[in-house]
Amino acid sequence: MVTQEAVLKVLGTIDDPELKKPLTDLDMVKAVAIDGNKVKVAISLTVPGCPLKEKIASDIVAGVKTIDGVNEVTVEFDVMTDDQRANLKAKLGMARGPADAPPRMDFAKRFIAVASGKGGVGKSTVTTNLAVACARLGKKVGLLDADVYGFSIPRMIGLTGQPTVIDDKIVPLRKGDNLQVVSMGFFIDEDEPVVWRGPLLHKAINQFIADSMWDELDYLFLDLPPGTGDVTISVAQALPSTELIVVTTPQATATHVAGRVAKLAEKTNLKVLGVIENMAYYESNGKRDYIFGKDGGKSLAAKLHVPMLGEVPLMTSIREAADAGKPVALDGTDDQVAIFEAIARAIENTQPR
């Protein structure tokens, strides 16, 4: 005989795909009805039009059908009331406090902004692969695409769709179990320009940081826009404990411009963690060709008195993987995975200056 207890036990093993907590813990199971070998489960969704409703239904059907005696499972949906959503936010530690209470900014052990002096040096590619490498090593990682005007993380990480917003809180999209991602690119079309002045930009960055349902993270990586503009200042104001990684190519022009970012870090009290040199060399038949010059990153690191965290070679496959949404730190060759895992471990073992 099928029992309600058996059904609830199974539902307790099924996570909401966005919130990564059991449906029972989130009070999403509204009712369970049993008629012989038929089971009907009523689920209260967090918001209307939940994009992962079909995923929830299929997980419930597959799970409940494993119970002896169950031949048919149906799932019905409705939507939580305002009070139920308020209770849910309280469970998740996202309940609204007093109007003048500062937003919670201690959800990550380390906040690491990745910057470059100019565009075209592969900063977003490096950031994406670093976040993936850290998640692969078992760290809880958040990835915030803070390049609101020139967002590229959604394509590079291989994520699409609009995040669920529970009242005023954004539920980040996920890449696997350990990586959460937030980007302006999830809210507008990839080809649509963002035409905002500074105050709106500042507000968006603060909302992405403070009003997202981040897990308790080991790292939050922030992919900054190139240069020394408003976003870097906004991040420094919102997260004064932020560490800064500077990405450059070996080219003298790139390293000189990248040095300006480090100077801005000093003025805004950000802590410089180290330098990563991208497109360091091109290797063919075991021979390295230093197309953009040699040791520019090492020279910059020495000038800034910070560690050289790693070198990333110039590879067509790294660019192709980013365009395809399959970062090499996850889906690349063993050598490519090793490059970014080594940098991830260097970050773990390095304290900011």
Token pair 């059907």 is found at: 61
Q: Both 142 and 71 in a single domain? A: no
Can you tell me the distance from the alpha carbon of 159 to that of 152, in angstroms, rounded to the nearest whole number?
11
Structural domains of the chain, count: 2
Q: Are 243 and 270 in a shared domain?
A: yes
Same domain, 222 and 279: yes
Structure tokens at 127: 């950031």
> Does 227 share its domain with 344?
yes
Give residue 100's pLDDT. Answer: 45
- From 119, 122, 175, select the one nearest 325 (Cα to Cα): 175
What is d(CA 158, CA 324) in angstroms, rounded to the nearest whole number? 7
Could you tell me the CA-to-CA distances from 302 to 167, 293, 299, 352 in Å, in that order?
Answer: 48, 17, 5, 14
Per the CB < 8 A criterion, the answer to whether 52 and 17 are in contact is yes
The token duo for 350 is 């390095």
State the pLDDT confidence band at 77, using cuts at 50, 70 and 90. Answer: very high
Note the pLDDT tens digit of each residue in 274-301: 999 999 999 998 899 999 999 999 999 9
Residues 246 and 288 reside in one and the same domain? yes
| Residue 330 belongs to a domain | yes
**Overall average pLDDT of the 239-266 stretch:** 86
Provide the token pair at 88: 């849910």
Instruction: Give the pLDDT band (50/70/90) at residue 94.
Output: low
Same domain, 12 and 38: yes
Does residue 96 lie in a domain region?
A: no
> Is pLDDT larger for residue 269 or for residue 241?
241
Q: Classify residue 98: in a domain, yes or no.
A: no
pLDDT at res. 103: 59
Domain interval for residue 57? 4-91
- Among 48, 58, 50, 67, residue whose Cα is nearest residue 3: 67
Q: For residue 215, tell me if it sits in a domain.
A: yes
Q: Do 141 and 116 share a structural domain?
A: yes
Residues 56, 124 within the same domain: no
Q: What percent of the chain has pLDDT over 70?
A: 93
Q: Exposed e or buried b for every residue in 218-242, given b needs 16+ CB within 10 A?
A: bbbbbbbbbbbebbbbbbbebbeeb
Q: Which of 26, 60, 91 is the last residue of a domain?
A: 91
Q: Tell me the two tokens of residue 346.
A: 């260097």
- CA distances 219 to 137, 142, 227, 242, Å, are 12, 6, 23, 11
> End-to-end CA distance of the chain, in Å?
65
- CATH number for the domain including 176? 3.40.50.300
Residues 74 and 114 in one domain: no
Q: What mean pLDDT is predicted for residues 19-47?
A: 93
- Do 203 and 62 lie in one domain? The reply is no
pLDDT in tens, 190-216: 676 665 666 677 788 888 898 899 999
Which neighbouring-strand residues pair with 277?
Answer: 248, 311
Residue 103: inside a domain, yes or no?
A: no
| One domain, residues 277 and 223 | yes
Does residue 101 lie in a domain region?
no
Q: Is residue 260 part of a domain?
A: yes
Does residue 213 sit in the same domain as residue 86?
no
DSSP state letter for 225: P
Give a yes or no: residue 242 inside a domain: yes
Each residue's pLDDT tens digit, 160-192: 888 888 877 888 999 988 999 999 888 877 676
Structure tokens at 4: 């309600």
Q: Give the C-alpha distances (Å, rounded to integers) separating 162 from 47, 50, 51, 71, 217.
A: 13, 10, 8, 35, 22
